[in-house]
Structure 1
Amino acid sequence: MKAENEIRCAYPHGGFSQMTLGKQHKGIGKLIQLELDRISAIQPSMEKTPLALRLAFQRLHFLSWQERVLLLENIHDMEDFLALGLAEIESFLYRSMHARPLDMGKIWEQAERDINILDRLGARFVCVVDKDYPPLLREIHRAPFGLFVRGDTKALNQASVTMVGTRSPTSRGLYTAQLLAKETADEGIVIVSGIARGIDAASHRGAIQSGAAATIAVLPCGPERVYPSSNAALAAKILDCGGCLVTEYPPGVSLDRYRFPERNRILAGFSKLTLVVEAPEKSGALITAEIALSEGRDVAVAASCLGSSRNSGADALKEDGALAIKAGAELVPMIRCEYNGI
């Protein structure tokens, strides 16, 4: 491995005292960090990296995307990949891994199956260094190494707003979500949501009703299914209208509760602004808003839902300084200005 050899060349001699070894470890750690910073800065092309290899690395979820790209500069084919193990990865990256022992042969077989499933679905795998990868998503902490995308990938690089809210909204909340989504999409802004029941589904429907911009649904499961299944018809409409279904999870990944807050970081990462339409206390939409704020993004609430019986969470956001939005057109200058400045 190239980087590993460079590190060995930097420290070729042995017989160090404990103090010297400590300095050596810090020095190697700094070299690795410099390499990871380089990866973040230049985002090296992976066009020549075989798809199976990229898909295999997608399943190494305990590594950051920068660590995976760094490894892929030195791992070129199936033979290299199968020679890897947890110990080799730890040695190369110079840190301990809190992960189960790896069956690299099984992972490679899964990657080859993933290719067949993507072909059947007409889906793509978009890697973090690819030009189609959402630019704002790449900036977040723990950005996904890659995304499985069904549908038109053009929307991934267009200005967007993320709309979230409760699965059990009031009639006012449903009406407001669909109206604000339509008004925003009318201005050419992509609507991103999670295709859940309630506010999410209404937001997607508003964008579809507009027809002027696509809508993106971020799934908490693999690309071969839609959750909830009751929104399968909505997912089909999203695809028919030029939108896409997106997930970081490979085919066959089970639907577990912890995947929902993980999915929320992607929802927040897609856009400069997250709009919480209607959300009670402890709503998952508030997790998305919290992540957005932690990433330096803006959070707004729907003015017409303030004070509703299902909106105590969004009411609290308003009290903390979130902007109250009355119409979709109010979002446009903020979103387009920030997006064009990337």
Structure 2
Amino acid sequence: MFKKKPEFERMNQLGKQGIPFLFVIDFECEFPVIIPLDEASDQGIFYDFRGVSNTSRLATNELSPLEFVKKPVDFETYRHAWIAVMQGLNFGNSYLLNLTFPTEISINRTLEQIFHQSSAPYRLLFKDKFTVFSPESFIRIEDGVISSFPMKGTIDANLPDAADILMNDSKELAEHRTIVDLIRNDLSMVADSVRVKRFRYLESIKTNQRNLLQASSEISGNLLVDWPSKIGDILFRLLPAGSISGAPKQKTVEIIQQTETGPRGYYTGVCGIFDGKTVDSAVMIRFIENQQGKMIFRSGGGITVNSEAEKEYRELIDKVYVTAV
């Protein structure tokens, strides 16, 4: 699907030697960044992955109230891409595709301030290029067990009976089952005894606009004892993440590349750390990028043959937010 760059072999070598490192890998696997963990801050890269961090939060009590304005793509532009995706779905080339678009935003915060103000399990500041505040884990490896936690299905938590509405939504259930099956198959390429440990559990997300409920699942498998010497190979086999591409993966990615406005770059890629014994990583969603002085927020959603363009367009816009501390 994508060409394997030398950086993946470098990960194998660092893993074999037990040398901790940070990885930041773009969606197309064109520009993977691999840095010894103790050198990341020197290169202007800061992270906080579930409390493991190379920085401390900056004080934010002197910041002015948040000003946040979205300038989304117009509906007709979105609908044109949606129609192209639906053709691929109706031809049977894909049965779930994650369609994404950039949204220009106006915000009275720098990337660094957004990084420090955001509340999310996985936060990354990549120089002056982009910041990530992702709720979604990609893979974790601990004690020889690899686990993935795909997220699929979101609803406004303030709606009456929000949890019941989300859990009983047949479209959301179908999408979630598809992604769980895809991730289970992906993990089976690198692990044995793959099993679904938790199916469709709910988590809360606090944003600057509203509170959300997000549905996730947990899938796990057993790795061979020499897995650290194969970290790069494992990651490459699993990329791109199924939850932000679709199924079947190869054909779906081809449709994405033909339909979206350009390469995704680091958006929907993965970032994480190997600490010498374990791996923790995230899918780079909730992503704000500095493009020649303009702040661009990337977002999207899963499309199936049962999708409605208006609802998917609204979901894309609703996912443009910053999380609050």
Question: TM-score, normalising length from structure 1?
Answer: 0.25
Higher relative contact order (CA 8 A, sep 6+): 2
Structure number with larger C-alpha Rg: 1
Please state which structure has a larger fraction of its residues in helix. Answer: 1
State the TM-score, normalized to the length of structure 2.
Answer: 0.26
